[in-house]
Amino acid sequence: MSESSSQQQRLSGRAKFAVDMGPLAVFMIAYFFGGRLAPLLGGIAGQDWSISEGEEMYLAIGLFLPAYFIAFVYSVWKERRVAPMLLVTGIIVGVLGGLTLILHNKLFFYMKPTIVYTLFASTLAGGMIADRNFLKIVFDGALHLPDSAWRTLTKRYAIFFAVLAIANELAWRYFMRDCDLTGDAACGGEKHWVNLKVFGFTLASLVFTGFQAPLIAKHLPDEPAGEN
């Protein structure tokens, strides 16, 4: 397959943003506005739909899982390949989200970011020990950098993911320290954790990635003279 055909199969910027952020948007809308939307939708359907305080997480997960599945299928269909990080994250999301709903225990979903970030950090670190650069594989030819630059980026991302894993573990344990994680009991700290998970970690990832721009720009190959 030629490089041009490979590029044609990549998601556009808007499509990638929708794949990455769409399921999160569904989660946030369901979590923060589900209690208001459910009665309205139930009225349209002629049913009595209501969400009690404390049940928001279950509703959000119940809508997030199919949204993530749709985003995953769309990504595979458009790119004609399975993105490794999307697949791994999807498996973890499916298992832990499913356990949360089946066992009615929010602990599994609170720990999901910890498990995902720990897996990413350990995979990158383990790859470096085994002399394999998994970060380069994830970028799949989108960046052309020397091995020394890839090693530096890999070290930084491994440390960053490890920090996020620790931060999530400390955060959910602190915010939910006085809460019953099983059943439908409301927890005041849960909303703080949701905001941190969706907005805080996402913003931290964007800022961290932005700080890698000088390193990437420094090692990008020069464009051949005369090339348009």
Q: Please, is 7 exposed, middle or buried when counting C-beta atoms within 10 Å of its C-beta (0-12, 13-18, 19+)?
A: exposed
The answer to whether position 228 is within a domain reads no
Number of compact structural domains in the chain: 1
d(CA 214, CA 223): 17
Task: Indicate the pTM of the whole model.
Answer: 0.82
Measured in Å, how far apart are the chain's first and last C-alpha atoms? 22
The answer to whether position 44 is within a domain reads yes
The answer to whether position 184 is within a domain reads yes
- Structural domain range at position 81: 3-219
The answer to whether position 115 is within a domain reads yes
Q: What is the pLDDT along the chain (228 residues), one digit of tens a residue?
A: 344 444 446 667 787 888 888 999 999 998 988 877 777 766 666 666 777 777 888 889 989 999 999 998 988 888 787 777 778 888 999 999 999 999 999 999 999 999 999 999 999 999 988 888 888 877 766 677 888 888 999 999 999 999 999 999 999 999 998 888 876 777 888 999 999 998 999 999 999 999 999 988 887 776 544 444
The answer to whether position 225 is within a domain reads no
